[in-house]
Amino acid sequence: MAGKVALVLGGGVGGVTAGNALRRLLGAEHRVVVLEREARYLFTPSLLWLMVGDRRPQQVARDVGDLLVPGVELVRAEVISIDPAQKVVTAGDRELRYDALVVALGAELAPEGVPGFAGTAHNFFDLDGATQFAEALRTFAGGRVVVAVTALPYKCPAAPYEAALLIEAALRRQGLRERSEVVVFTPEPQPMPVAGPVLGAAVSQLLAERGIALHANRPPASIDAAARELVFADGARERFDLLAGVPPHRAPGAVRRSPLANENGWIPVDARTLRTRFADTYAIGDVTLIPLANGRPLPKAGVFAHAEALVVAREIAASFAGGAGATFDGTGYCWVELGGGRAAFAEGDFYATPAPSIRLRRPGVLWHLGKVIFERSWLGGGLERVLARAALRLGARVTGVRATL
Ligand SMILES: Cc1cc2nc3c(=O)[nH]c(=O)nc-3n(C[C@H](O)[C@H](O)[C@H](O)COP(=O)(O)OP(=O)(O)OC[C@H]3O[C@@H](n4cnc5c(N)ncnc54)[C@H](O)[C@@H]3O)c2cc1C
């Protein structure tokens, strides 16, 4: 049989998972190529620990190549254009032809979308911003700490709330809590609205119990760097001493310029098969748009990128060599770190009708431990990684969590 090429764009959560699964499923006559512009893979969930001093920058990243199984070809280049009709991708100065394509290019951060954000807010969604926030918090003398979400959609629905909870715990640890306020501003009507009012109320209660003020439906329109104030669309202003910000997100340029994108730049896909409207072309993870029964999009989260990657690999293997394909069932989960070595855990069926069916497990030490083991399953070396995955599978069985791990 003639060998074919499965090309994966992006070496993040979805791309690494898809590349590895394809390599395991496809015969040696077929090539699996992963195209990624960065040398290092960043484990984003650890940014939340890093921003409060619980991790150092060198602990939260690994070489992309170390995460790929032998036989996956890693090409380090910037994707410039995607032509799904001709089945060709331009990256750097080369053209790559493919038989099947997986677009896993994620979402791009666009701090320039909010005047005054860059240089004033600590963008804890990237490594530099989270590192700078940690340094500012370390030398903080107390005051008003603001977590501000500027726009929707953003990655990881829980992240800003976890950030606020972890900052609050860090201020207590530093003996600064009495002299400090923690305040969240968000465009959302409640925390994690995709998960419904009950879960939103539970997260709001976790914030309220710790004296964290939540201002829903209140995104800042700009930031006045000199006055150190958030400025809102109605002209109101809110002061901050330390600002952790979530910048606007957008689809990567190569995707926005391609015929795969909708008018907002994201890639609409079939919710079950992750197929785009072009033959043999799939998209997974943050770059996709999947509307849910409650009218909100499937959240941008690594857990979905991971599960979707496994489905797409099976689909491509079936198209190359025959056999059964797979479909994505819409289940997902996330940890909500509370600080002090405790976490809550949300999980459920995001494809349920008439609305996603998500529940929040009671906070405890074991959920936090689960997240630490999850981190090791991505960042640990050889044996540590294997053991961490086995521990996660065992934990999922014991707790009854339905998770693709
Ligand atoms: C602070 C924070 C905490 C988070 N916590 C969680 C969590 O606890 N659980 C969870 O499920 N999710 C979490 N997430 C979200 C998670 O990181 C993303 O949803 C996930 O990484 C999406 O995977 P992806 O493969 O779609 O994109 P990514 O992992 O972002 O990968 C995209 C890759 O494409 C590359 N790329 C982009 N453009 C180009 C180009 N033109 N050429 C070449 N390469 C390119 C990028 O360098 C990147 O490596 C968190 C995110 C943040 C910021």
Asked if 5-107+251-328 and 110-248 have one fold, the answer is yes
Domain ranges of the chain: 5-107+251-328, 110-248, 329-405
How far does the centroid of ligand 1 lie from the alpha carbon of residue 19, in Å?
Answer: 15
Instruction: Determine whether the shortest distance from the Cβ of 155 to ligand 1 is under 6 A.
Output: yes
Instruction: Determine whether the shortest distance from the Cβ of 78 to ligand 1 is under 6 A.
Output: yes
Instruction: Determine whether the shortest distance from the Cβ of 181 to ligand 1 is under 6 A.
Output: no
What pLDDT is attached to residue 367? 94
pLDDT in tens, 279-314: 999 999 999 999 999 999 999 999 999 999 999 999
Q: How far is CA 121 from CA 125, 130, 213, 220, in A?
A: 11, 10, 19, 12
Mutate which of 33, 35, 37, 258 to test ligand 1's pocket (most atoms within 8 Å of Cβ)? 37
How far is the C-alpha of 126 from the C-alpha of 61, rounded, in Å?
12
Residue with the nearest Cα to atom 8 of ligand 1? 45
Q: Is the pLDDT of residue 403 over 70?
A: no
How far does the centroid of ligand 1 lie from the alpha carbon of residue 155, in Å?
Answer: 8
Instruction: Determine whether the shortest distance from the Cβ of 134 to ligand 1 is under 6 A.
Output: no
346-374 mean pLDDT: 94
How far is the C-alpha of 114 from the C-alpha of 183, rounded, in Å?
19
How far does the centroid of ligand 1 lie from the alpha carbon of residue 48, in Å?
Answer: 14
pLDDT in tens, 168-198: 999 999 999 999 999 999 999 999 999 999 9
Mutate which of 44, 94, 102 to test ligand 1's pocket (most atoms within 8 Å of Cβ)? 44
Report helix angle 197-209 to 159-173, nearest 10.
10
What mean pLDDT value characterizes the chain? Answer: 96
The pLDDT-based confidence of 401 (bands split at 50, 70, 90) is confident
What pLDDT is attached to residue 212? 98
Q: Is 128 exposed, middle or buried (0-12, 13-18, 19+ CB in 10 A)?
A: exposed
What pLDDT is attached to residue 1? 63
Instruction: Determine whether the shortest distance from the Cβ of 106 to ligand 1 is under 6 A.
Output: yes
Instruction: Determine whether the shortest distance from the Cβ of 11 to ligand 1 is under 6 A.
Output: yes
What pLDDT is attached to residue 323? 81
What pLDDT is attached to residue 160? 98
Report the atom number in ligand 1 closest to the C-alpha of 64: 49
What pLDDT is attached to residue 329? 96
Sheet holding 122-123, edge to edge: 122-123, 242-246, 144-149, 181-185, 212-215
What pLDDT is attached to residue 45? 97
pLDDT in tens, 324-346: 889 999 999 999 999 999 999 99
3.50.50.60, 3.40.50.720, 3.30.70.60, 3.20.20.70: which CATH number matches 110-248? 3.50.50.60
pLDDT in tens, 1-52: 689 999 999 999 999 999 999 999 999 999 999 999 999 999 999 999 999 9
Contacts for 320-323: CB closer than 8 Å, 24+ residues apart = 320/4, 320/6, 320/26, 320/30, 320/99, 320/100, 321/1, 321/26, 321/27
3.40.50.300, 3.30.420.40, 1.10.600.10, 3.50.50.60: which CATH number matches 5-107+251-328? 3.50.50.60
Instruction: Determine whether the shortest distance from the Cβ of 160 to ligand 1 is under 6 A.
Output: no
Instruction: Determine whether the shortest distance from the Cβ of 111 to ligand 1 is under 6 A.
Output: no
Residue with the nearest Cα to atom 37 of ligand 1? 105
How far does the centroid of ligand 1 lie from the alpha carbon of residue 321, in Å?
Answer: 30
8 A C-beta contact, residue 245 and residue 117: yes
pLDDT in tens, 87-124: 999 999 999 999 999 999 999 999 999 999 999 999 99
Mutate which of 156, 336, 378 to test ligand 1's pocket (most atoms within 8 Å of Cβ)? 156
Report the atom number in ligand 1 closest to the C-alpha of 159: 3
How far does the centroid of ligand 1 lie from the alpha carbon of residue 305, in Å?
Answer: 9
